[in-house]
Structure 1
Amino acid sequence: MRISIDARDPGFRAYAEAREQGITFNVTLDGKRLAPVHTADDLTGEVIVLARDRSGHIMLDPRRPGEILLETHRGRVRIVRRHRHWTDDSNVI
C-alpha cells in the first residue's frame, strides 16, 4: 500500500479516500513509529518525512525557497489503518 499527503503522488487517492471515511494511519519504519509522514510505501520500503535539524526544527529546502525539505528513509515499512472510533489520536497522518 502507498499513502501520501501530496496530491501529485500516486498514494494520495488511497489516503484521501480513507480520510473521507474517518480512517487515519500509523506508520512504522523498522519498528519505530513515525509522525508526521509525508509519504509511506510498504511495498518499496520507503517513507518520506519532513527533514529536521539536530534541535528538531523543520528545515527549509535551500534549493526551493519557502518549501520544506523532505528526507527519504528505507527499511521495513508498516502502515496500519486506524478507524475514527479508536481513542489514541497521537502520531497519525
Structure 2
Amino acid sequence: MRISIDARDPGFRTYAEARDQGITFNVTLDGERVRSVHTADDLTGEVIVPARDAGGHLMFDPCQPSKTLLETRRGRVRIVRRHRHWTDDSSVI
C-alpha cells in the first residue's frame, strides 16, 4: 500500500478516501514509529518525511524558503489503518 499527503502522488487517493471515512494511519520503519509522514510505501520500503537538523528543527529549501526539505528513509515499512474511535493519540497522518 502507498499513502501520501501530496495530491500529485499516486498514494494520495488512498489516503484521502481513508480520511473521509475517519481512518488514520500509523507508519513504522524497521519497527519504530515514524511521525509526520509525507509518503509511505510498504512495497518499496520507503518513507518520506520532513528533513530535520541535528537539533530536531525542520530544514527549509534555501532556494524556496517556504518549502520544507524532505528526506527518504528506507527499510521495512508497515502501514496500519486506525479508526477515529480508537482512544490513543498515535495517529501519524
| Identity percentage of aligned residues | 81
Q: How does 1:7-18 map to 2 (within 5 A)?
A: 7-18=7-18
* Aligned 8 A contact 1:60 1:68 in 2: yes
**Cα displacement (A) at 1:90:** 2.8
CA distance in 2, matches of 1:58, 1:23: 27
**Cα displacement (A) at 1:91:** 4.4
The CA RMSD over aligned residues, in Å, is 0.9
Q: Which amino acid in the other structure matches residue 11 of structure 1?
A: G
* Aligned 8 A contact 2:26 2:90 in 1: no
| Structure 2 length-normalised TM | 0.95
**Cα displacement (A) at 1:37:** 0.2
CA distance in 1, matches of 2:62, 2:69: 8
1:25 aligns with 2:30: no
CA distance in 2, matches of 1:74, 1:15: 20
1:72 aligns to what? 72
CA distance in 1, matches of 2:48, 2:64: 17
CA distance in 1, matches of 2:72, 2:52: 12
| Structure 1 length-normalised TM | 0.95
CA distance in 1, matches of 2:86, 2:92: 12
Give the length in aligned residue pairs. Answer: 93
* Aligned 8 A contact 2:40 2:46 in 1: yes
**Cα displacement (A) at 1:59:** 0.4
* Aligned 8 A contact 1:3 1:41 in 2: yes
1:56 aligns with 2:69: no
**Cα displacement (A) at 1:53:** 0.6
SS at match of 1:14: helix
